[in-house]
Structures are given as C-alpha cells and as structure tokens.
Chains A and B, each alone.
Chain A
Amino acid sequence: MAVLTPYGRRGLIVGGVIVFLGLVGLLEAFSTRSIINVLRTAGGKPVAVTLLSLPELLALIVAFVAVRGLLPARPRALDAFGAVGCGAAASAVTAAFVRLGPALGAGGDGFELRDVFIHATPELFEVLGSFAWHLPLAALAAVAVAFVRPDVRRAVTAGAIAVALVGVLSDHVTILLDHNGVPRASTAWFLRGKSLTVAGAATLFGGVAALRWLGERFRPVADRRLAARPARDRRWLRRGGIALAGVALIALPRFAGSYHSEVLNQVGLFVLMGLGLNIVVGFAGMLDLGYVAFFALGAYTMGVLTSPESFLAAATVPGGQPVGPVGFWLALPVCIVVAVIAGTLLGVPVLSLRGDYLAIVTLGFGEIIRVLALSEWLKPFLGGSLGLKRIPPIKVPWLAIGDGCAARGIDVPLCVYRLAIDGPDKPQKLFYILLAGCVVAAFVALRLKDSRHGRAWMALREDEDVAQAMGIDLVRTKLMAFAIGAAFSGLSGAIFAPKLVSIFPHSFNLLISINILALIIVGGMGSIPGVIVGALALVGLPELLREFAEYRLWAYGIVLVVMMLYRPEGMIPSTATLRELRPDDDASPGDAASPSPAGPGTAVAAAGAEARA
C-alpha cells in the first residue's frame, strides 16, 4: 500500500495545479480553442462539437507528465493501479472544486470567491467540469507509453505534438490556406471550423509518427550510404540542401501573407538578438542581463539619424547648411558602430567580474540606457517618454524592381517578380531584410564558433584562470564577445525602429533581455539552431496564440523550470552542454537532439516524455 501513497499525493497536486490554471484564467482564456471536433446532428442540423479543447489538452499534459515522472522504468501492476488512482485523485480534486466553488460566497456571508479570483466564473466551473475522464485516461496513457518500444514511443510523441500544434493553431492554418487560394471545400475533411476533424487528426498523427519512425529507422543506413560517397558528392548534396532551403525561405513571405510575415519578422528580430547574446552567454559564458541596451542604442541611433523630426534633422552645419535626415542604409553602419562602442565600453568595467556580479552590473547598464532615454536631460535629443516619431520605412531598391516592371507591363523573370510585393513598407519586404541580417549573423556566429576566438571563448567559459594560463588574453577575448554581441543587437534595433515607425523608452525594458535569455536557454546554450528554435517557440508561438499574451511571462517561468528539470541542455543542445549533462549517453548529439517544432506547451510534454526515454 505504501507504494500507492506517492501516486495519491501526486494526484492531489495535479488536481491542484489544474484548479490553479483555471483560477488564474488560463483555462478559460483557452476554452474557445478546439483541437479536434466532430459533427453531431442537433435539431436536424449538423454542428461541430469539440472533442478535445486546449484546456483539456493542457490538463492531459499535466497529468501525463506528472504520472510519467513517478513511474519506474518497468511499471508493475501496482504502478498501473497507482497511476489510475493518481488520475482519479486529480479528477476528484477538480470535481470537488466544481461542486464547492460556486457554493463559496453563495451563503451570503459576505465572502465571494470571485473577489479573490476574478476568473472563478461559471464558465470556469463548466470547463473544469468536463475533466472527469481525461485525467485517469492521461495517467493510463503514461503507463501504456512505458511499455512501448523507445522508437515507437518517439514516433507517437512526434505525432501527438504535431496534432496538438496544428490543432491549436488551426485558425492560422485556415488563414494561410485561404491566403494561398486553397478552396475550403478541398480541406474540409481535414479542418472544420477552427479545429481538426477526427480524420484530419488521425491522418496527421499517423503521417508524422510514420515519418518519424521511418526517419529514425533509415537514418543510419542513409548516413552510412552517404559516408561511402566521395567527399565531392557530399559537398554538392549539402550545397543543394542549402540552395533548397534558400529558395524556400525566399518564397516564404509570399505564402505566409502579411500577418504571418509580421510574426516572422518579430521572430527575426529576436533571432538576431539571440544570436548575439548567444555569443556572450553561450560561447563566452558571461551572463549579460542588460543586453536590451544595445538593441535600444541601435534603434535610437537609427531614429535620430533618419527621422525628419529628430534634432539632427533640424541642426545646421557651421556653413549654415541643414544636416537633414539620412537614409536607412547610410545610418545602418553607424547604428552598428555605436552598439559596438557601447559594448566595448560596458565590457571594460566588468572585465574582472564573474557570474552573479556580472549579471547584476549588466542588468544595471540595461536600465541606465532606458532611463537615459526617458530622462528630461536628453529629452531634446531623444524625446523623453514621447520617444522618436516618423522614422521612415526601409527602402530596398531592388525589391521594387518587380513593381516597376509590372507597372510598365514588362515581363520579369519569375524569381524577381515573386519577390515583389506591392506597397512600400509591407512586412513581406522587411522579412527579406531580417532574413539577410539573420543569415549574415548566423554565418558569422558559425564561423566564429570554430575559429581561434571561438576556442578562446570556450576556454574562458570553462575556466578563466586556466584559459589565461593557456595564453588567452582575457581582456581582448571578453571585449570581443561583448562587442560582437552588441553589434548583432544594434543591427536588430536598427531594423526595429523603422519597422515600428515610432520608438519609446518603454519598448526597451528588462523583459526583452529576459526574453532573449530565455529563448537561448530553451533552445540550448551555445547552439545556433537552438536560437532559431527558441525564438520560434518563445516569440513566434505566443504571437500566434493571442489570448495567451497575458500569461506569457507566467508560461516562460513554467517552461524554464520544466526545461531545467527535464531537458536542461535545451531543445537543440550544443555538443559541449550535452557532454556535461548527459555524460553516459552513447547516442550522438544529433540523435538526442531530434529537433521537433515544439512550442512551450507541447515542449513540456515532449521534454517530459523524452527525459524518461
């Protein structure tokens, strides 16, 4: 019987967590998101009825992860019993809450549950009331998964993540399909209303699971075949892959449409900053919490130089000539140089600081820049709390070629006119600029990682004293990391300013620094693909889940804690981190780091499931 106690206790916790998710309003906010629905006839008319909603999925994930964490590697009958009990206990907690909750305050004694928890609405009790069978089922699933072969388990996990992701984002899938002129009738079997159909979910699950399984099965064979080919062939194959990816990226905004291009641009800004901070934190191991400062400097420099309203535009040179605003392309290098100088200047006083002390000083630096931008003192130059306005959009000469030719009725080559998107400042155009910036930044970061400097940073991160004893110049190495990191952030800021047209000090708060740090940790410290995946998960996904905005930071906290517990190396770990955290894994890093396009919510499930694998 003692074996069962932990299961019961865990069940109560799971129930409590779910009630808590409800009381903070998360479940209700998500209750309109349906993942799978079915058609029922009501009153002679077919209506779509939700089979699985997002709140239910969240509850399933919580219960699944909790039970999976308790189960031994080889569960016995008693464990299965305990697991179901765990689910039942959790159900009992939610049921009790649904029963007792509305009664609280109904007694007329002046106490109202809603006075404390404004989200304790009748709708919440309705949502929570639907959980009766989900939790024991999730617990049973956790038991079942323990008996499945690891390769099948990974395939099933991948399928489940795909269904969850597409189901949750099905409204966006619909928008994208509409944008690309796909008739709704042809996808009705797959998507109905704002959710997947049962057939759609089954197909998606089966397809992705099968692909994952086949991929894992035949990957070694393919790798071996490939390794047997001459190096020249392999090189061409890689170039072909890069070219294909390039074409796909160039075509992307056309298919994404303007709203989703905007989301991609937001991700792009954070990828740029993430790549830069990754050099400082991931490569060189210096915890910088004031990274937003360089972003702000880039943006403000761009604003001051290009806005017709800035003090610079009104100023005159000694000869009496007005200075006037300059164009984006002329201002861009200045922004980067300003950021680099600031990065170096910040680097000098913190050279001898390590760890926590460094974090605190950089934190202060980030705030100083924001407060300066806000100050009365610099108001004539930076606009104080009103910020800088009328920053002109970026003009890219060659991206307009298609427009020009089309206007004159000239037939232009496919590639050029596909790039051309009407209007001067559409997000689709900005995408190309951010893409170019990210490609350059990723290339630079990649080359630096394998260079002498990369090795110096690596040594510095591991042990400063020994690095010094190896002949590494601490001053130069550290300043270099700060300067290059700042350059990427300055570039990001320089693109951010014209994107927003107006910039205000409050856009550059501590949360941005934390956001970037979080995406690096989630993606995998020191890993360049990790930055991209982290940005997609922590910036892109919340952007798509609008009702989520309020809970964003809250979810970050949970994601970070869960990541640290179950997958501390991140989603796509760098090899060095992997060596430290999974020293006895024989699997190659590529294997262990199967990149899955998982978002915060689903990452929890994936991390939990794979940590037990």
Chain B
Amino acid sequence: MALLEVHDVHSHYGNIHALKGVSLTVDEGEIVTLIGANGAGKSTTLRTISGLIRPSAGSVRLGGRDIAALKPHAIVAEGVVHVPEGRGIFARLTVDENLSIGAFIRSDAAGIAADLERVFESFPRLKERRRQAGGTLSGGEQQMLAIGRGLMARPRVLLLDEPSMGLAPILVEEIFTIIRRLNAEEGTTILLVEQNALAALDVAHRGYVLETGVVRLSGPAGDLKRDPAVIEAYLGV
C-alpha cells in the first residue's frame, strides 16, 4: 500500500474546475514529481493534499487513512508537510524563529533540538544566519529555510512546491542536490512539484504529467524523460 494515495480528486475555486479527477500515489522513501505547465493545477493538487482546499470529490489517504476531511493543522499532525510555492518565509521573524514554528506540532524538546542540528548540518548557511530576519535572506537561502522549516515537523511526506522558482541556475542545482540527499540519506518521502521538468525528472523516481487538471502521463522518471510527448512539451528547447 502506498504511503500517500490521491484518488480521483476534484477541486474547485468557485466556478473554476481546477482538478478534474487527479489520482497519484507516493510510496514510502520515494521522490515523486508532478510536472506540468503553468496553471495545470500542480499547486492546487498540493493544496488539496495539505487540506488548504477541500476537494469536492475524491479521497486523499495517508497510510490508508482518509485525511481529505481533516483541517490543515490536523493534516500536518498526521505527517503531511507542505512547503508552499513562493516559500512562505515569515519575513520579520529570524531563521531560528521560523524553524521553531516549523516544529510547532511537536513537543519533544530533545527531538526538536536534534532535528535543528540536522537541519543546520544540511544547510550550514542557515546556521550562520540564525539571528537574521527571514526576509533579509537571499532567494536560495529562503528556499533552504522553507525546506528546513518543513523538515522540523519531521514529516512522513514532504510536499515541495516549485523549490527552484526564481533561483539562479547554480542555486537550482544546489537545491536539487539537497533534495536528493534528504531522500537518499534521511529517507524523506517527497512529492515534488516543478516546472523545471528536466531537473525534477533527474532526481525523482517516478513522475506524473499534469495538464489542465488531468493526469496525462505517468511512469518511472527515466521513461518520462525519454517520452516524445514529454520531450516536446516540457523538455524541448
């Protein structure tokens, strides 16, 4: 049984039918990527999983348990942590404060302290800027902070929405290296939404291609990378 199972989910923004029956699964220890053009519904899918939007039909299961009806904070408590598009750093709060809010749902002080050290190991640059306001960090550092903050909740599934957005190529590479390492070394399960399809398919095990609210294609990342339709639509120059 898959750890995260999204089954035939429909979501609306008022009259706009953004998701028209999306299904996908993420297994424990996997990186799964969801690629697609701007406006395809990738962020909506993540928002639906994390409960920020209530689906109008379909189910979202975590470890077999339906979480679609839960409130967002309860879904975080279940282990699904969403790092939103645009990072959502608390700009006026320090790096430390941002990270401590990430661990909000936990009460094991010792575990939190240990995880803080682990985050600083993964992102040494954050450690140097612990007392700096989040809003004064560079784009890459903010993304690291957003991911680190997500990790502080010790998620069972980490939902990353376009972590490469707006970053210089060298930083994009660094972020993807970190994503791969988090998965390989710490076993973090990740659902990665990306417009940068090439890089995403490079780190992911499997992938889904979303088009206007519908899953068009899915399969192992290697296969998708070679698929002529994908190459033409998303990987072409």
Contact = CB atoms under 8 A, between A and B. Distances in A.
Interface of A: 452, 455-456, 458-459, 462-463, 465-474, 576-577, 579-580, 583
B136 A583 contact: yes
Contact of A459 (B74, B81, B104): B104
B182 interface: no
A287 B105 CA distance: 26
Contact of A468 (B73, B91, B102): B73
B101 A458 contact: yes
Given A458-B90, A577-B92, 11 more contacts: A452-B104, A467-B101, A468-B52, A469-B50, A470-B101, A471-B72, A576-B92, A576-B93, A579-B94, A579-B133, A580-B135
A455 B104 contact: yes
B104 to A, nearest CB: 5
B225 interface: no
B133 A470 contact: no
A470 B149 contact: yes
A458 B97 contact: yes
Contacts of A465: 52, 84, 88
Contacts of A473: 71, 73-74
A71 to B, nearest CB: 30
A470 B52 contact: no
A611 to B, nearest CB: 20
B156 interface: no
B97 A470 contact: no
A474 B73 contact: yes
B104 A469 contact: no
Interface in B50-96: 50, 52, 71-74, 76-77, 81-82, 84, 88, 90-94
B25 interface: no
A524 to B, nearest CB: 14
A469 B90 contact: no
Contact of A469 (B88, B94, B136): B88
Interface residues of B, number: 28
B95 to A, nearest CB: 12
A583 B133 contact: yes
Contacts of A471: 72-73, 76-77, 81, 104-105, 153
A466 B105 contact: no
A579 B92 contact: yes
A577 B135 CA distance: 13
With a 10 A CB-CB cut-off, give which of A455, A462, A471 has the most chain B CB atoms.
A471
A459 B90 contact: yes
A470 B153 contact: yes
A456 B97 CA distance: 11
Interface of B: 50, 52, 71-74, 76-77, 81-82, 84, 88, 90-94, 97, 100-102, 104-105, 133, 135-136, 149, 153
B102 to A, nearest CB: 6
A452 B81 CA distance: 19
A422 B72 CA distance: 60
B52 A469 contact: yes
A378 to B, nearest CB: 38
A582 to B, nearest CB: 11
A474 B88 CA distance: 17
B96 to A, nearest CB: 11
The DSSP consensus for interface residues of chain B is mixed
A467 B133 CA distance: 17
Contacts of A458: 90, 93, 97, 101
B108 to A, nearest CB: 13
Nearest to B105: A471
26 contacts: A455-B97, A455-B100, A455-B104, A458-B93, A459-B93, A459-B101, A462-B91, A465-B84, A466-B84, A466-B90, A468-B72, A469-B76, A470-B76, A470-B104, A470-B149, A471-B73, A471-B77, A471-B104, A472-B73, A472-B101, A473-B71, A473-B74, A579-B133, A579-B135, A580-B91, A583-B133
Contacts of A472: 73, 101, 104
Contacts of A455: 97, 100-101, 104
Contacts of A470: 76, 101-102, 104-105, 149, 153
Nearest to B72: A468
Nearest to A473: B73
A580 B88 contact: no
Contacts of B149: 470
Nearest to A474: B73
Contacts of B91: 462, 580
A138 to B, nearest CB: 37
A345 to B, nearest CB: 21
B104 A462 contact: no
A452 B93 CA distance: 15
A456 B105 CA distance: 10
Contacts of B104: 452, 455-456, 459, 470-472
Nearest to A583: B136
A577 B133 CA distance: 11
A345 B214 CA distance: 43
B164 to A, nearest CB: 19
B92 A462 contact: yes
Nearest to A574: B92
Contacts of B74: 473
Contacts of A463: 88, 90
A40 B92 CA distance: 58
Contacts of B50: 469
Contacts of B77: 471
A213 B115 CA distance: 46
B149 to A, nearest CB: 7
B52 A462 contact: no
A533 B138 CA distance: 37
Nearest to A468: B72
With a 10 A CB-CB cut-off, give which of A455, A470, A473, A583 has the most chain B CB atoms.
A470
A82 to B, nearest CB: 37
Contacts of B81: 469, 471
A465 B90 CA distance: 11
Contacts of B133: 579-580, 583
